[in-house]
Structure formats: structure tokens, C-alpha cells
Structure 1
Amino acid sequence: MNNEKTKSIVTRLLSAAGIAVNGNNPWDIHVYNEDFYSRALYQGSLGLGESYMEGYWDCLRLDEFFYKILRSNLDKSVRKSLRLKMDILLARVFNFQRPARATRNGQRHYDAGNDLFQNMLDKRLTYTCAFWDNATTLDEAQENKLDLSCRKLQLKPGMHVLDIGCGWGSFAKFAAEKYGVTVTGVTISKEQVALGQQLCAGLPVTLRLQDYRQLNEKFDAIVSLGMFEHVGPHNYSEYMKVAARCLKDNGLFLLHTIGGNETSAFTDQWLNKYIFPGAVIPTIRQIGQAIEGIFVMEHWENFSVNYDKTLMAWYENITANWDKLKSRYDQTFFRIWKYYLLSCAASFRARHSQLWQIVLSKNGVPGGYHVAASRENSPLTYANTIKP
């Protein structure tokens, strides 16, 4: 197909989503290299993202550009490339999240550099969706999320809590300070463990460099915030069995995960290559099948629109702090990170992606499950909290 024909097709597709080429709206794109059209048409999301990285095109409001594409279902109009079909086939056959590969996948993203995340995230380094009700800042919204998570787990002083995928220890530190519990966290990121141990110094918190499949000890409660996306469909059942063997019979397990509307064996090609290698977004059906016969589902909430606001806050932070980072990270890296944050924000805004918090028990909570309305209604009050 010649260049003019390709250009005509891409322009027409974008127009159907309300996006103009070289238009005046903030969501319109400006094309600087005509090869953009063939890259976008024949290579799909990978070609679209890589051509952006290479400066073939730009857009003032990438988040709105992607929102319009997703709300119009334009992504489904472009036929899948042969390469993508092969990737999907391989993902269905092979386990891309087996222990050795899972470690490499995780380290590629989470070991990118602590300075990057310190300049992007809240003061506690919470790399998961914040809850924005009654919050005006990212710090407040993340503390809302951490507090709600503790209340959903019905934490009491003296409990021992397992944090699967603990990051830099934000939940562990908060729960130890505010709810008087001991926390053991596991992650596969060396950088997270190193900094997290410093941040949690002096508290009853232990952070370990360990794959979740190696866990075999009992805890009063288990939390996993934003880690299940890296588990992979081949391992969902094993993950739930590990959580069950580590949870005491009367304990609660809080699973906080991004969720998808349609089951897929593979994630977006560009995100898989440049941001989250091997990550797969689970669906309700997949989670339901994984917990069947192992856990009782006590509570399920969707906070998806909160992730839009969280990602936009991270983007604003990294943009505001770019002068502190640009000596170590080049302009291509900045374009990658911008594309990642804004395209993901659009996915939640368009309701293509969800954010779920799911409370599970092993035997069903006698008399039914409930969430404390506030920390004052929880077993540990502000007056009894451990000071940082």
C-alpha cells in the first residue's frame, strides 16, 4: 500500500475518534515524519508508541488523545499484526512469569532508579492507586488508600501481616506506625528493599528480597497492593494457594489489583516492551476461577476513576521535577514515561481499565464482613499509634 493510501486510512480512523492531524485542539496530533502512518497502521500500539518515542509525532494532551481513541473503540478497528498474534499464541502456551523470568521482568521496571520514583510518587513512595475522596493532595490520597486497606483487613495491635509485593514499604510503614502491627514484606526488586529498609528503620518491619512462591509461614492477615498484575494467568491458582497456606484460618486477605474488562493472554505490546514486561491484567472471571474452592469473597470495590487522577498526579510530579532527573535520564526516557503515564490515565478515564480491592477469607467471616467507617472505629486509635 502506498504512503498516501496509508495516510488516508490513518487520518480517517483518527477522524472517527474526533482527532485531527495537525489540528488545533489539544488532543489533535502533529505529524513530523510521514512514516508515522505506516508505523501506526501496520505495527499497532507498538508502532504508535515507538514512533512517538522517536519524535515522529506529538500531541499537547496525550491523555485526551488516548481517551478519545479508547472511548471510540478505535483500538479494536485496527487489525492485529501477525507479530501480535504470535505473541498472544506464545503467551497462552508458555509461562512468562516463572520465577527467574518474573524477577528479571520486575527488576527492569522497579530497579529503574529510586530517584525517579522519589520525584514522581508521594512522600511514602506508594506506587499504587490513591483514593481521592476528601483529599486535595497526592500525599493525602495515598494515606486514604493505606488507611482504608488497614481497616478492610481489620488490623489490631500485635498482628503479624504479610505484604506480597511490598514495594518500598509504604503500606508496611503506615500499618506499623498507625495500627501497631508487625509487617513482613517481600519484593523481587533489590532497589526497593535497599531503600525500603532505610525508610522503615526502627519499626517492626522486615522487607525481604523473595519471590512469593517461596513463602511458607503463617500470618494474621495478608495484603497485596498492585502486584497481582505481574503474576500471570498461568500462576493465578498457585498464587492463591500460597496466600491460603500463609493465612491463618481466621485471617483476611486484601487483594488490590488493576482489572480488565476482557480476558487476554497478553498485555499492550508497547507497555510490555518498554514498561511492564510480562504483565497481564486479570479479569473478574480469572480471579473468580483462581479463588474458587480456596477463598470466600467477602467484599469487592472498584476505584478505577481514582487511578486516572493518581496517574495524572504522577505525571505532574515527574514533569515538575524533570530538571532534577535529566542528567541521568535522557529525553527519550522522558517521552517513554510521559507516554506510559498519560496513556494509562486515559485507559482508566475511558473505563477500559479498572482498579479493584477484593477482601477474601478462608472460611467466611462469622456473622458477615464489614469495613470500619474510620480509624477511630478500628481497634487502634490515633492516640495509640506508634510515632515515626
Structure 2
Amino acid sequence: MATEEPLLTFTDTEGKGKHGGGQKSLVLGEVKKQLHLAGPLVAGYLLLYIIQLMSLMFVGHLGELELAGASVATSFATVTGFSLLGGMATSLETLCGQAFGAEQHHLLGIYKQRAMLLLTLVSIPVAAAWAYTGQILAWFGQDPEIAAAAASYIRGLTPALFVYGPLNCHVRFLQAQNVVLPVMLSSGATAAAHVPVCWLLVRALGMGSAGAALATAVSYLCNLCFLAIYVRLSPRCRTTWTGFSREAFRGVPDFVRLAVPSALMMCIEWWSFELLVLLSGLLPNPKLETAVLSICINTITLAFMVPFGLGGATSTRVSNELGAGRPQAARLAAGVVVFLSVLVAVVVGLVMVLVRNLWGYAYSNDEKVVKYIARMMMLLAVSFLFDSINGVLSDAFARQHNLVHQLERRSTEGKRQSSRLCFSLDDMAT
């Protein structure tokens, strides 16, 4: 019977081709692999995030109060729920990537089921906390009108919470297998359909900001259904998805020990941004400050999807290579991403500077909001330069650390088992 944990063995075959022009060809080959993987992945993450962004844009044209309420609600939801679930799901990049590299394909489906189960359980207390959003925000001193508007928006967003976890699990499951084109196509189709869904719920049915939030849940559900059908029917997932298994209920504590640090790694960074939006409600003229700061945070988060996708591709490459027992190739993948992250940061930062005077009109027709955003975009471009490099590198090196931690844990468990076996043999001998 195959063991659940993939065993990492190191080979000596990766030293080939390093003489003469071999090293250059290895670097170019790694760049091509990462770009081939990162391109659709970046597009998929961008399109997935745009769904939530378009909902906010629809709300922004309803009025300043509605935009402020939806902004605070989105930040509150991100801090307390979406960042937690997304961070825990990133542990699949390590587990599934390693298993795929070690050619223990059946483990990918087990890991995915286990993650979906755990993330669904975590969503229950989070949803209970969301039911008291208005009271919580008012207790922290938020403007009463903004707190009430945020409570209305987050009620419509609650169904999206239970879809967001499984959706992320499917994305990471496919990403670990280098199957990223379906993720991009699914996100693209969902983003295209999200506009008429928003119009139907917000304008035609007159549901207002709550309708925009509910549209997010509907689009996430459509995206999840598309990916679930693909996993079930695609020949590329035939060996990695073999149906539901009771093994998914085993090893949950080990998964939690890996998922919690992964979640904290992502949450701390997200919280540092989103808490600014929550605190902006305490400033003079809270409606304007909250709306503008939320737009700025959403803008830099949208831009961050590019290095985030690049980091995800690098994590997959590192996990695959370590799982296959090629640590030098994993080190090369981590080195190549340094150059790519700097290039991405410069290009995206330049784009942010060029569109600074027009970007505000996507969210609001208020000239005060548009001019305020134009001034903030220059600061965002500089901030993005450093945040991009930090995000990519921390993601890649964290995956390596998690794999090393797994190796050390298995080594310790193996020694303990050997020790217990020796004692048992001694007892039998006596």
C-alpha cells in the first residue's frame, strides 16, 4: 500500500549540462518554464480578483455612502475570512506540488478533499462573525451609516465565503500539475458573465449594494462548477482525482500544522493593508477617506495579482523539483524569479503612473475622489516596487521551508519508529 506522504529522494542527475553554455541554457529553460506556467496563472488570478472589483465598481456608482460601506465590508471580509481561507489553501501548493513531483499522483486528490473539508469547517465560525459586522464596526468607532451599509453588503457576500475555499483548493490542485489554462479560461468566462449578473441584481432587480455582493457569490460558484467538472472529466486529472476517499479524513492535524503558518504568512500582509481601510472610517470626512483608500488598496491588490501569480508558478516549480529530488533545479527556479519580479514591478509601476488621472473614473464620477486617487497613485507605484519583490520571494522560500520542515519531521518520526522497534525486539528477546 502506498504511503500518504511522498518521499523525497535526491538524485545526482542535475549536474548534467552545466559546462560551457549549459548553465545559460538551464537559466533560459527555467525562464520559459516559469513564464509558460505564470502567464495563464497570472491571468487567472487577475480575472478572479476582478470579479470582486467589478462588484465594488457597480456599488461606487450608487453613491459615496454605498461605496464606503461596501469598501469597509470588503476589507472586513478579507481580514476575517478570504485571506484566512486563501492562505490555508496555499499549503496545497507545497503538498500537491511535492506529491506530483514525486509521481504519487493519487495523493493530490486526497489533499484537495482534506483541504476542502477543513476550509468549509473554518468558514462556519467566520460566517457567524460576519452576521454581527454592523455591531463590530460600530463598537470599533466606525461611522454608524457606514457600519450599517457594510452590514448590508456583507450579508450578500456570505454565500461567497463557502464557495471561496473550495474554489481556491481546485485552483491549487490544478496548478500543482501545471494545468493552468483551464483556470484562466474559467476565470475569464466568469468575469465576462459577472457584468450582466451585476447589472441584473443591482439595477434590474433593484437590490443595490447587496445585489453586487450576491453577484460575487454567484460568479464564484459558476467558476467552481466549471473547474469541478473539468477535474472530473479531463484525462489530465485521471490519475490525480480518483474520487472521494476516506483517507481525506486522516492526517488532518498534519495538514493544519502546515496550513496555519501558510495562512499567517498571507494574512499578516493582507491585514496590514485592509486595516488601513477600516481605520480610515475614524478620520474626518470618513465617507471620502474610506472610499478613496479602499480604491487605492484594491488597485494595488489588483496589481499584486501579477507577482502573486508569478510566485505561485515559482512555488509549483520549486515544489515539483524538490518532490522529484532535484534541489539544484529548485534553487535555480528561486533565483530566476528574482529577475522576473524586478521586471514585473517596474513595468506595472510605470502603468500605474501613466493611468493615474483616469483610474478614479472607473469607480466614481465625483471629481474629489478622482483627483484624490490621482495623487495617491504615485505613492502606490513606489510601494508596489518593493511589495512585488517581497511577495514573490517570501512565497517561493516559504514553500522550500515547508518542504524542509516536512523532511525533518518525517526523519524524526522514522527515528522514533526505529527506536520503538528496537525496544520491541529487545522485549521479545528477553
The answer, yes or no, to whether TM exceeds 0.5 is: no
Higher relative contact order (CA 8 A, sep 6+): 2
More helix by share: 2
More strand by share: 1
Of the two, which has the highest radius of gyration? 2
- The TM-score normalised by the length of structure 1 is 0.27
- The TM-score normalised by the length of structure 2 is 0.25
